[in-house]
Structure 1
């Protein structure tokens, strides 16, 4: 997590230096407190609140070595929501208490407060109800395991059920590693299963498949383990790619939000249809050289025509295979000038 430490006094500057040694943070100080030859140290310029707003989106974590009131007033106008806000921690100038202030779970402020406390000898102050109860809520699970929360609006109701002690079913994708879930949080009211029990008060789905709403509070967490391998005729149109993908997902009963990456040959770096799909899905594209694809192409049916044109007899399947760490092929489709292979990434 890239962090910034903000201090405004000489005592605070000393603490900031200790945090930089432990966390690798950037430091922001009034110019008069900056000593010559201090790498990673930058001046606080202009109005303080405007300065904070300026750096707010640039870091995943902000550590204020100030009074809590100063931190609250300076970030108030910059807050956008749990999904977007960085972690904010406040540490007093005597390093007694490290307070998790904003984005305790999704942003990681609770963990950052613990790291700050460890580095300075402070006491971490964490006030989120689930942490006080020793319960791992779905947003914490998502943050730990890199899962995408599809229906954020259901999170509060499911978490409330956990806190009340109601039965909550965790329904896992077939093959998803059960050990990845923190079992210590399942001693009382949460159960791991392959379908929702009738007496469940809420449910958490960890799957890339489409989910039929169960009629009770629920949250869908996506491993985003689906990999799209794409071969494309030059100039093939984006709407045709979108149509092919939609038909493929329908056939396989998979959710578009389960897609985690796209893969293709590096000769297609400028293919606008593939790049547009990447932008639309907000997922990266892995580009592989012909030589790299040749190393695994014999695992799949080959096209002599394609091999003569670009040097490798298949693009979609080999690229998806590589990008999925040798995962499972779920389906292969053709149409509109495209070939599309869908693989499920192999969990390490």
Structure 2
């Protein structure tokens, strides 16, 4: 998640710096940029460039500033509102698909504030269909149906979920079993359903949840053992609350194509691995990729794990886990559309 924090007062600016310092240590936060004053100038930029905006200001200023920019729950960034004293963190926009509700709880915990969340499913202890999509890294084919299904969930109606019997959906079953929020579902199987899809139906209404491509980028020192690489991968997906079965591909640079530990891990997890050509890595550009002078001097590329993950996740992919080191192993995770 890429986050912009914008403040208007000196006290708010100080709080913004404090929040940034705490978030910079979080591997699931790709970057945090600070903005101060000039809200009319900055908000249009922030809406198009960031996944989330934390506005430290009066709610009236925030609402007037973003009113003309709001378009859709599928495209609007998450927007949080915090008072200058850091007493309350309010989830203001894109609570579910945008991740504002989860980010609200995270920020409130970091600064010792009270989280304020008003979405109906959350306050009624229900699991929204869009929350399922967000938590399990799935896309929704028909977002206009979200309101219908969430209303049905609030009313306690049973949703029908249909999946292909030949695909391992353990991650879905475990999620529904272990989630503390309430939802009433039946699970059905049909070989007519695509392997990467979950069909949701009720009263002639339907939508499709589709798995987004998840690629784990790996870098490591020469001769690193499989167990060490596996540990880094395990810790990374744990940070994302992700099941290992959601990982579609492992990726690294072609200079690692004979790395025994990576090849053994691919076989152990039954997840394919692909190695990106050096020419592609040299040409790849992204502001989100961290740069290593050591890797550049040795191989002519700025990095291994982040660009490899982004390239293999496909066009317009993005990082959801930035480069993180685990005893000689670097892990990053990218998601495709």
TM-score scaled by length of structure 1: 0.55
Structure 1 residues 209 and 142: alpha-carbon distance in aligned structure 2, compared to 1, 3 A threshold: closer
1:146 is the counterpart of 2:137: yes
Paired with 1:69 and 1:179, the residues of 2 have a C-alpha distance of 43
**How far 1:290 sits from its partner (Å)?**
11
Equivalent runs, 1:7-18 vs 2, <5 Å: 7-18=7-18
**How far 1:287 sits from its partner (Å)?**
10
Paired with 2:61 and 2:8, the residues of 1 have a C-alpha distance of 10
1:220 to 200, 208, 215: 208
Structure 1 residues 195 and 105: alpha-carbon distance in aligned structure 2, compared to 1, 3 A threshold: same
2:107 to 91, 111, 116: 116
Paired with 2:182 and 2:94, the residues of 1 have a C-alpha distance of 27
1:137 is the counterpart of 2:143: no
Paired with 2:55 and 2:200, the residues of 1 have a C-alpha distance of 44
2:185 to 160, 174, 191: 191
Q: Is the 8 A contact 2:197 2:211 kept in 1?
A: no
Residue in structure 1 matched with residue 42 of structure 2 by the alignment: 51
**How far 1:8 sits from its partner (Å)?**
0.9
The RMSD of aligned alpha carbons is 3.5
1:27 to 13, 30, 34: 34
**How far 1:209 sits from its partner (Å)?**
5.5
Paired with 1:291 and 1:14, the residues of 2 have a C-alpha distance of 44
2:51 to 38, 52, 60: 60
**How far 1:129 sits from its partner (Å)?**
0.3
Q: Is the 8 A contact 2:199 2:207 kept in 1?
A: no
Paired with 1:213 and 1:112, the residues of 2 have a C-alpha distance of 30
Paired with 1:110 and 1:143, the residues of 2 have a C-alpha distance of 11
Q: Is the 8 A contact 1:98 1:116 kept in 2?
A: yes
Q: Which has the larger radius of gyration?
A: 1
Structure 1 residues 291 and 144: alpha-carbon distance in aligned structure 2, compared to 1, 3 A threshold: closer
Extract unaligned runs of 5+ from structure 1. 31-43, 197-204, 228-259, 264-285, 296-319, 324-348
Equivalent runs, 1:71-150 vs 2, <5 Å: 71-150=62-141
Secondary structure, counterpart of 2:34 in structure 1:
strand
